[in-house]
A and B are shown apart, each in its own frame.
Chain A
Amino acid sequence: MMAYAVALPLVAAFLLPVLHNASRWLGILVGPAALVAVLLVVFQSWQPAVLPFAMDLGGFAPPWGITFYVDALALLFCGAVALMTLLLWPRDEGDGDADALVRRRSLTLLLAAAAAGLALSGDLFNIYVFYELAAVASYGLAAERGTPAAYAAAFRYLMLSALGSVIALAGIAIIYFETGTLNLAHLSLLAGELQGPTGMAAFLCLLVGFGVKAELFPVNAWVPEVYGVTTRRTAGLLAGLVSKLAVLVLVRLLVLVFPQEGLRDALLLLGVLGLIGGELAAWKARDMTRMLAFSSIGQLGLVFVAFSLPGTAGLVAGIVVAVHHMVLKPGLFLLAGQWGGGLRGLAGAARRAPLAGLLFVLFALSLVGLPPLPGFWAKFLVLTGLAGQGGGLGWLAMVAILVATVLEVSYLFRLAGRLYSRGDDEVPAAATGGGTVTAGVFGALVVAAVVFAPALWDEVQDMGAGAGDAALYVRTVGPMVPTMISGGAP
């Protein structure tokens, strides 16, 4: 059943151009219909009694076949993929180019399929395939505007991402060479063989490779440029969704295959650098989109810091921080899409669009962590985790998080002040409509998170505990072909 989460958007992506030629309405409906179907599949599978379960596609037993591992965390991300893609579904930008819109929708569906695949895949081979698929889709989306700047940004992004993919592939190759398998459950059993420097090098390859999409410092230089030239919906999708799925893959690897302490330190250090670097750059940004892009880098840094914490506490903190950012950032990008461009031109914008202004303040407050908004709980979890862990890096990270928050307040509310200032009213009011409404949905999610906080908390704890249980993963995927266990390099 869960295979439909990947298959439906994938098929729809390829059918869309054909159907569009046959009937305009069919072309419009097929994408959202596929995504709604995925949501239904996710809802139907969300039964605590049967979770987690594994699926062997095509009937091939692991470690040979394609394995999908379905636990609450994977379902959460699958559902998020469908929901976010639906909310950020490409709209007619009014440039009158129908073909471009069809291409954009096709690519978005492809991205959704790949993202769901990343969330579900239980082996490195498939993860790599879906990662590449997502990359290809995102190259196309990055260049969607067709302007020279968009092509330049997309090309630079392509170079960076391709190099990252090659390095990730090298990491996968090292793992295969060392253990003879790519199935995550199988690798978990053989984790002992990856304890040495070779194993660490392999993980670093994967970290840097997948880190490109996950906006990991310092391989994230594409972020501000690409988000600056794409539509805000695509920026929201890349920042909110794709980055988190790359992180999810790294987290699965950390839990199942690489429990080494040192690797968590590396993750923590890079996370701290990303956090501080991103927030500092955002503080200086003169353009709302870029400000949000840099802030996104900072938030991803925080996600890395959270996931670097050991045990269930780290997973829980990471999930909360990641989901929080996943909901907020697209909302903010949509508002930026309404207002557009340079900060100077935004004077008084919120006075002309009060709902959008309120949403901006709500998102900003949650981002900086005003209790009882969800951003506060996210920060609180990370901070208590770090303080409990102690150590020089832990203290550094705590100070970094607090300093970054002050920087965040400084630039976000400098912007809020400008939005509410009595600016010159000659600036035409931005066309309101879809963007604000969709942002409103994200805002409603934030408020709902406050209202249903206790229930969500129980859910997240179970999710974290389940995702952190490597033995459960191995048990669920089932027994491996015995000859492979003794495996190793041929």
Chain B
Amino acid sequence: MTHLDLLLLVALINLPVAWWLAGGATRRRLLALPYGLMLGMLLYMDPGATWDSGLSWVFLGQSLSWRLDGLGWFFALPTIGAALAAAAYSSGEWGEDFAGAGGSMGWLQLALAANVFAMLVLLAAGDLLTLFIGWELVSWAGLPLMVLAGGAAVGAGIRYITYAMGGGMAVLLGVVLVYVWTGSLVPADFMAVLPTLASWQVGLLVALFFGGFGVKMALLPFHLWQAPAYGLSVGPAAAFLGAISSRMGLFAMALVLVKFITLERLVDLTVIPGLLDSRDVLAWVAAFTIILPTYTALKQNDARLLLAWHGIGQGGYMVLGLVMGDAMGSAGGLLHVFNYATNQAVLLLAVFAVMHRTGTADLNRMGGLIVRMPLSFLALLIGIIGLAGLPPMNGFVSKWLVYRSLVLEGEPLLFLAAIIGTLGTILSVYKLIHNIFLGQLRVEHEDIREAPWSMTGPMLVLCAVIVVTGTMPGLVLGVVADAQQAIGLAVPDYHLGGVTSPAGGLDMLWLNGVIMAGFAVGAVLFYGFGGRTKRVHQLDNYAGGHFLTADVRYQYSDNFYPGLMHHIGGWYRGSFQWLEGALISVVDLLATALRGFYHQAQPAAWVLFTITLGFAWAVLP
């Protein structure tokens, strides 16, 4: 039994173990333990090496095999990490309350364990058939996590699985075509034949795989399912799904499009001669995925949905960086997977901690919680800085690498799109932190306490990861380099503080040092000159120079940026909603027609009709 087999076996055994652990209040404290074990096993395995599985068999004339290389290792890290955080978060008071409210902890933990197992099976895929098997397992494993919350979440889950299967079928067709056109599903064999395929064949494969994997990443125009499916789930599930689940799409893209088909081939596939090749199309899909969902997030009034919509937009940066394909861009895109996972996990855990105490995620019904829940505030603050991609957090490093690559590769328009997206992110995360924690406290929240340690603990650990990997990105860039090498990409010249490049590098140790020094100077000035502050009760507040009392509601999120909305409000048209609705209407119309066929009074007439038509076909030349 190899190391990889052992890891997969532990992940599999964790299914019944998690179910059992979830069953009792004392046992629940140990829920994170299996994931800790898995994380230890993963860290023991060198990401620079390839870890083969002893399992392999031939079936239906296909050989199935599993192996974990640098790319799989890199995605396995945040997968297990996110599960660890989610399990720890739910192991204490949250779990008790959830079970007390009629929720099934057993199902939640079983589904979480199933997701981790399915993802590891996918990440260790050694050929296209095992990739598809893993892909489908991951798609289906996500469903129970989404629908656990009941109510609207069930509808969101079914919408998800319909989209996911649409994507899955595109992938399946791609796999089948590779098999028929190249005679093999084993990478070494079909990669030798792929270069000989005609352009239309490769183009079709790219469309099928990019579209299929893109559904999981919620790339435009397949993005509508994700925010409600992730956001409306229960806390730990939402954090896990939001942090890593849809990144499986990026893993598959990196493997199939970058490694198997190669970016050079994508550039060769011309879409509009002299203007647009297929890689440009992918990059622009990514760019629009950054902008549109981010500005949709800006309009959300539910903290969970706001974050979930950002998850879609952030995926755009990853795809954009990856398809740029140069050392910096691809490093940025991949690094953003890790960074974003830490940011989103912290943010969703913090929002659900607030929800745990206040019972709401509605941004119109909160405010001023900073004093009541300071640790959650701190976690959310660190999370939003990372999500917005600002120093000194880790999100800045990955986004900087992507920006740099866009500039160096001569893509000013894509760069502009990325910046517009970041602007929208900054605006909307400000709305998030402001409406929850700043300003006026609501009367009903006067007695709110901070969330328990079982919940704030995982959040703070993640915060530490964000700060440390923000200051010392080299810690993660080493693993990213292994992933890049595994798919045949160039590796940037990295060091502990960042990257060096003739065109200008980045050293976060210096940058963060300067920022901290700036804060220190500010603090010295402030406190040195007396630190004059005036405390007022939180129920009272000022807004725009006007004194507000507790009976005047200050917090609101509708039309939060009236000036901006005056200019861009008209752009929100719900075109994709309309498109989805139109598609459903067409299916509905066809289905009604077909049902009519089966509701006729004289079905025997069809026998005559068919045979007459058949005779005509047989006799006519």
Of B48-56, B162-170, B429-437, B501-509, the one contacting chain A is B162-170
Q: From residue A384, how far is it (CB to closest CB) to chain B in Å?
A: 5
Q: B614 in the interface, Cβ–Cβ < 8 Å? A: yes
Q: From residue A1, how far is it (CB to closest CB) to chain B in Å?
A: 34
Q: Could you tell me the distance between the alpha carbons of A457 and B59 in the complex, rounded to whole angstroms?
A: 8
Of B171-179, B334-342, B357-365, the one contacting chain A is B171-179
Q: Could you tell me the distance between the alpha carbons of A285 and B592 in the complex, rounded to whole angstroms?
A: 9
Q: B196 in the interface, Cβ–Cβ < 8 Å? A: no
From known contacts A200-B618, A387-B177, A409-B165, infer whether A280 and B587 are also in contact, taking CB-CB under 8 Å. yes
Q: A463 in the interface, Cβ–Cβ < 8 Å? A: no
Taking a contact as CB atoms under 8 Å apart, the answer to whether B614 and A208 are in contact is yes
Taking a contact as CB atoms under 8 Å apart, the answer to whether B166 and A204 are in contact is no
Taking a contact as CB atoms under 8 Å apart, the answer to whether B172 and A283 are in contact is no
Q: B6 in the interface, Cβ–Cβ < 8 Å? A: no
Q: B611 in the interface, Cβ–Cβ < 8 Å? A: yes
Taking a contact as CB atoms under 8 Å apart, the answer to whether B60 and A381 are in contact is yes
From known contacts A201-B618, A204-B614, A409-B161, infer whether A156 and B603 are also in contact, taking CB-CB under 8 Å. yes
Q: From residue B141, how far is it (CB to closest CB) to chain A in Å?
A: 10
From known contacts A208-B614, A388-B180, infer whether A365 and B140 are also in contact, taking CB-CB under 8 Å. yes
Partner of A402 from the list B173, B598, B619 (CB cut-off 8 Å) is B173
From known contacts A277-B597, A371-B132, infer whether A402 and B147 are also in contact, taking CB-CB under 8 Å. no
Taking a contact as CB atoms under 8 Å apart, the answer to whether A284 and B595 are in contact is yes
Q: A370 in the interface, Cβ–Cβ < 8 Å? A: yes
Q: B577 in the interface, Cβ–Cβ < 8 Å? A: no
Identify the closest chain B residue to A415 (Cβ). Answer: B158
Q: B594 in the interface, Cβ–Cβ < 8 Å? A: yes
User: At the interface, is chain B mostly helix, strand, loop or mixed?
Assistant: helix
Cβ proximity bits B587-621 to A, threshold 8 Å, 1 near / 0 not: 11011101101101001101111110011011100
Q: A266 in the interface, Cβ–Cβ < 8 Å? A: yes
Q: A453 in the interface, Cβ–Cβ < 8 Å? A: yes
Taking a contact as CB atoms under 8 Å apart, the answer to whether A208 and B587 are in contact is no
Taking a contact as CB atoms under 8 Å apart, the answer to whether A281 and B615 are in contact is no
Q: Could you tell me the distance between the alpha carbons of A207 and B611 in the complex, rounded to whole angstroms?
A: 9
Q: B133 in the interface, Cβ–Cβ < 8 Å? A: yes
Cβ proximity bits A364-379 to B, threshold 8 Å, 1 near / 0 not: 0100101110001101
Taking a contact as CB atoms under 8 Å apart, the answer to whether B591 and A266 are in contact is no
Q: Could you tell me the distance between the alpha carbons of A409 and B161 in the complex, rounded to whole angstroms?
A: 7
Partner of A453 from the list B59, B595, B610 (CB cut-off 8 Å) is B59
Q: B16 in the interface, Cβ–Cβ < 8 Å? A: no
Cβ proximity bits B486-514 to A, threshold 8 Å, 1 near / 0 not: 00000000000000000000000000000
Within 8 A of B (CB), among A380-397: 380-381, 383-384, 387-388
Taking a contact as CB atoms under 8 Å apart, the answer to whether A383 and B162 are in contact is no
User: At the interface, is chain A mostly helix, strand, loop or mixed?
Assistant: helix
Q: Could you tell me the distance between the alpha carbons of A218 and B594 in the complex, rounded to whole angstroms?
A: 11
Identify the closest chain A residue to B588 (Cβ). Answer: A284
Chain A residue contacts of B133, Cβ below 8 A: 371-372
Q: A413 in the interface, Cβ–Cβ < 8 Å? A: yes
Partner of B598 from the list A205, A223, A376, A417 (CB cut-off 8 Å) is A223
Q: From residue B169, how far is it (CB to closest CB) to chain A in Å?
A: 4
Chain B residue contacts of A159, Cβ below 8 A: 603-604
Taking a contact as CB atoms under 8 Å apart, the answer to whether A414 and B158 are in contact is yes
Q: B136 in the interface, Cβ–Cβ < 8 Å? A: yes
Q: B578 in the interface, Cβ–Cβ < 8 Å? A: no
Within 8 A of A (CB), among B56-92: 57-60
Q: Could you tell me the distance between the alpha carbons of A372 and B610 in the complex, rounded to whole angstroms?
A: 39
Cβ proximity bits A141-174 to B, threshold 8 Å, 1 near / 0 not: 0000000000000001001100110010000000
Q: B154 in the interface, Cβ–Cβ < 8 Å? A: yes
Taking a contact as CB atoms under 8 Å apart, the answer to whether B591 and A218 are in contact is no
From known contacts A371-B133, A387-B176, infer whether A201 and B169 are also in contact, taking CB-CB under 8 Å. no
Q: A131 in the interface, Cβ–Cβ < 8 Å? A: no
Chain A residue contacts of B177, Cβ below 8 A: 387
Partner of A163 from the list B179, B595, B604 (CB cut-off 8 Å) is B604
Chain B residue contacts of A422, Cβ below 8 A: 150
Taking a contact as CB atoms under 8 Å apart, the answer to whether B595 and A406 are in contact is no
Taking a contact as CB atoms under 8 Å apart, the answer to whether B610 and A384 are in contact is no
Q: B137 in the interface, Cβ–Cβ < 8 Å? A: yes
From known contacts A224-B598, A406-B162, A454-B59, infer whether A384 and B614 are also in contact, taking CB-CB under 8 Å. no
Q: A212 in the interface, Cβ–Cβ < 8 Å? A: yes
Chain A residue contacts of B587, Cβ below 8 A: 280, 283, 407
Chain A residue contacts of B606, Cβ below 8 A: 218-219, 221
Q: Could you tell me the distance between the alpha carbons of A387 and B181 in the complex, rounded to whole angstroms?
A: 9
Taking a contact as CB atoms under 8 Å apart, the answer to whether B157 and A417 are in contact is yes
Q: A222 in the interface, Cβ–Cβ < 8 Å? A: yes
Chain A residue contacts of B590, Cβ below 8 A: 280
Chain B residue contacts of A312, Cβ below 8 A: none
Taking a contact as CB atoms under 8 Å apart, the answer to whether A417 and B618 are in contact is no
From known contacts A218-B606, A221-B597, infer whether A201 and B615 are also in contact, taking CB-CB under 8 Å. yes
Q: Could you tell me the distance between the alpha carbons of A390 and B137 in the complex, rounded to whole angstroms?
A: 29
Taking a contact as CB atoms under 8 Å apart, the answer to whether B604 and A160 are in contact is yes
Chain B residue contacts of A205, Cβ below 8 A: 611, 614
Q: From residue B100, how far is it (CB to closest CB) to chain A in Å?
A: 16
Taking a contact as CB atoms under 8 Å apart, the answer to whether A222 and B172 are in contact is no
Cβ proximity bits A226-255 to B, threshold 8 Å, 1 near / 0 not: 000000000000000000000000000000
Q: Could you tell me the distance between the alpha carbons of A283 and B587 in the complex, rounded to whole angstroms?
A: 9
Identify the closest chain B residue to A196 (Cβ). Answer: B618
Partner of B594 from the list A197, A201, A219, A280 (CB cut-off 8 Å) is A280
Chain B residue contacts of A21, Cβ below 8 A: none
**Can you list 6 pairs linking A and B with CB atoms under 8 Å apart?**
A159-B604, A277-B594, A284-B594, A370-B137, A409-B162, A413-B162
